[in-house]
């Protein structure tokens, strides 16, 4: 009977769970080519704003989701192998005297001993939408629904899909972030300590 590896995700939202399944479809054999992987979602708090306003806050939210899962596993005596936190948020940067705001998706993956971050690319957010979220304090999911004249975008293509005409969905962005965050686990020879690398 094949070994079972359980990947716990700090969310029950469909795009996030779909992203984990998609990422594992590409990297599971690199992590363990004989095991069977199972993805489970548990709703946990991020401990940050509903829409993080900086990459630091997005990273913190992703990490805290994974850490909340570790505590949950310990409290319930669950033996989960990986703990995944996913967080989307905005990041504002000044470029050539102009403030530009980008939507980013972050992943944090832990095996209970060490954790690693990964990030998607970024898509620039229209000024009116950025203002609504950053200044008026509207949650991005609610703001993008109004902006696009639709409902439930967050659980479908997400703001990523709306802004890229569905060339990149929320699930796609999280998949990229996850593959990046898992890299030190499936490509460990590139991430070994400097001493082991003969430095």
Q: Which residues pair with 88 in a beta bridge?
A: 105
20: tokens are 């984990």
| Residue 153 to residue 170: CA distance in whole angstroms | 10
Q: Are the C-beta atoms of residues 65 and 44 closer than 8 Å to each other?
A: yes
Out of 1.10.10.10, 1.10.1300.10, 3.20.20.10, 3.90.950.10, which CATH number does the structure's domain 4-188 have? 3.90.950.10
Task: Please provide the DSSP assignment of 94-148 as one string.
Answer: EETTEEEEEEEEEEEEE-SS-EEEEEEEEEEPPHHHHHHHHTT---HHHHHHHHH
pTM, whole model, 2 decimals?
0.93
Helix axis angle for 140-148 and 127-134, nearest 10°, is: 140
Q: Alpha-carbon torsion 84, 87, 88, 89, what sign?
A: negative
The pairing of beta strand 82-95 with beta strand 115-124: unpaired
- Selection from 57, 72, 104, 77 nearest residue 8 by Cα: 72
Structure confidence at residue 197 (pLDDT): 47
Structure confidence at residue 1 (pLDDT): 77
Q: What are phi and psi of 3, to 5 degrees?
A: -65, 140
| Residue 66 to residue 110: CA distance in whole angstroms | 7
Residues of the chain with pLDDT below 70 are 194-199
């Amino acid at each position: 009977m094949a070994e079972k590896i359980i990947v716990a995700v700090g969310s029950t939202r469909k795009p996030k769970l779909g992203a984990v399944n998609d990422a594992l479809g590409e990297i599971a054999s690199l992590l363990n080519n004989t095991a069977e992987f199972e993805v489970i979602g548990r709703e946990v708090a991020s401990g940050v704003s509903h829409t993080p306003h900086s990459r630091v806050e997005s990273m913190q939210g992703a990490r805290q989701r994974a850490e909340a899962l570790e505590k949950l596993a310990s409290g319930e005596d669950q033996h989960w192998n990986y703990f995944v936190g996913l967080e989307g948020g905005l990041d504002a940067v000044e470029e050539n005297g102009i403030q530009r705001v980008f939507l980013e998706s972050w992943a944090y993956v832990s095996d209970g001993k060490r954790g690693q971050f990964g990030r998607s690319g970024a898509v620039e957010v229209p000024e009116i939408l950025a203002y609504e979220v950053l200044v008026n304090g509207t949650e991005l999911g609610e703001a993008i629904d109004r902006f696009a004249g639709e409902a439930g975008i967050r659980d479908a293509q997400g703001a990523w899909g709306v802004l890229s005409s569905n060339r990149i969905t929320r699930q796609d962005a999280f998949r990229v972030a996850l593959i990046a965050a898992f890299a030190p686990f499936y490509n460990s020879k590139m991430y070994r300590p400097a001493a082991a690398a003969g430095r």
